[in-house]
Amino acid sequence: KKINSNMYSDFDGTLLRELEHIDSTGTVLSTFSNEGLEVLYKNQYRTVPVTGENSFLVNIGKLVDDLIDNKVPAVRHRVAEVDFDRYSVTYFLGPQFDADISRSMTGKLTDAGQKYTIFGEWIKDYLGAIELFYY
């Protein structure tokens, strides 16, 4: 059954179950046998293969990308609406709230570090911005 009937992509008009976004930190995800997850690659959304019962996906978020000097990119992704009950299990990873996020592993000032020093300050504003976007 469809959950959304009016949440469309600004990118290409696709009906979505989860809006397009880039995760904040790191995410471990199992989609089991449920399709719908899509990633933006070369300016086109592409279907991510399902994980099955015994595997998982690891997604790098914006902050991790920044902290490791953009060696592994954060990926914009979304969940397209499907006509069945879709479920997945997600585990979000992040540093301690008092972790210094102002410098990358090589000592460069991070994007986050231009305004914040510790993770707790950054994530509060990052998640607040997402919440305002959704609602």
- Tens of pLDDT, residue by residue over 11-34, are 999 999 998 999 999 999 999 999
**Calpha distance 99→113 (Å, rounded):** 12
State the pLDDT at residue 128. Answer: 73
State the pLDDT at residue 1. Answer: 61
Residue 4: pLDDT over 80: no
> Average of pLDDT values for 88-107?
94
In the structure encoding, which two tokens stand for residue 132, read together?
């305002």
Distance, C-alpha 102 to centroid of its chain: 21
> Average of pLDDT values for 93-97?
92
pTM beyond 0.95: no
In the structure encoding, which two tokens stand for residue 9, read together?
């992509």
State the pLDDT at residue 130. Answer: 57
